[in-house]
Amino acid sequence: MKTIDLSQKRVLVTGGTGFLGSHLIKRLKQKRASTLLYPSSSEYDLTNLEACRKVVKNIDVVIHLAAKVGGIGFNRDHPAEMFYENLIMGVNLMHEAWKAKVEKFVAVGTICAYPKFAPIPFKEEDLWNGYPEETNAPYGLAKKMLLVQAQAYRKQYGFNAIFLLPVNMYGPGDNFNPDSSHVIPALIKKFYEAKINNLPEITVWGTGKATREFLYVEDAARGIILATEKYNKPDPINLGAGFEISIKELAELISKIMEFKGKIVWDTTKPDGQPRRMLDTSKAKKEFGFKARTRFEVGLKKTVKLYKESFLAHKNDSSDK
């Protein structure tokens, strides 16, 4: 299939007001999509079949980012919600998109879909060789069903649906809510508050031995656009930066960037999550020329800087009232 010219297409982005979505929308505006829709969940509840039917009407391309997400604690405490809401959103939306004759459906999955003990680096071929890490399995499997659906609809109906597997993202506009944030924003918030309150130490979940890979959100948005334009095959594709860092090293790096002088205490009664995470990103480069550009420390410094600025702005707004 030929490259899609997004300037000639009516594009729907679900989750377009969220963290990744806001960066993706910015890029799509630069592409000058003929129509660009990114309604909020309050406008269209995608767990409702009728809402899915309405939102895909007269749309050429759907990029499905919308998801219920959270860190290890949130996944552990809300497994049923994580499974049901993510599964039902994807199933309904893709089915209604096919019925509405949408030209292309881009399903954005999650690294949580990989088996707990997949060989490092994670290759797309290993996706089904084991069960996901238990704390995020309901979420990971719900999103993974989008791959099964995409391949089934392609086989039976010739529906052009693709499935992307982005690694953990970070960057400006991330979710810093301690109840649902992922590890980088959670640590930035923790270190910053400890520093301004002169606390002697902070506590971090787990042993610090688990490893993670992180993709700067602007790189992720660029990768999704490239795949939307150029990739039209049934096989899943990893989107990552191709490196791994332990949570201990990550905490120490954030501590250094934020100039926190206190001690890091590890709460080993709390889970580490998946032991290791790192993607093989060679297919994305081969299929649509994607390679991450942002060095991790550079992206991390930008994220910290913007968090500090937004924290101070919010504090000043509160003091003015």
Distance CA 299, CA 294 (A): 6
Among 38, 114, 139, 216, the active-site one is 139
- Strand segments, DSSP code E, in the chain are 10-14, 35-37, 61-64, 104-108, 161-166, 168-170, 201-205, 211-212, 214-216, 237-239, 245-246, 263-267
Percent of the chain that is helix, strand, coil (3-state, to 5): 45, 15, 35
Q: Is 44 considered catalytic here?
A: no
Degrees (nearest 5) of the Cα angle 247, 22, 162?
Answer: 80
Distance CA 145, CA 100 (A): 21
Contact at 8 Å (CB) between 209 and 198?
no
ω into 172 cis (within 30 of 0): no
Residues noted as catalytic: 139
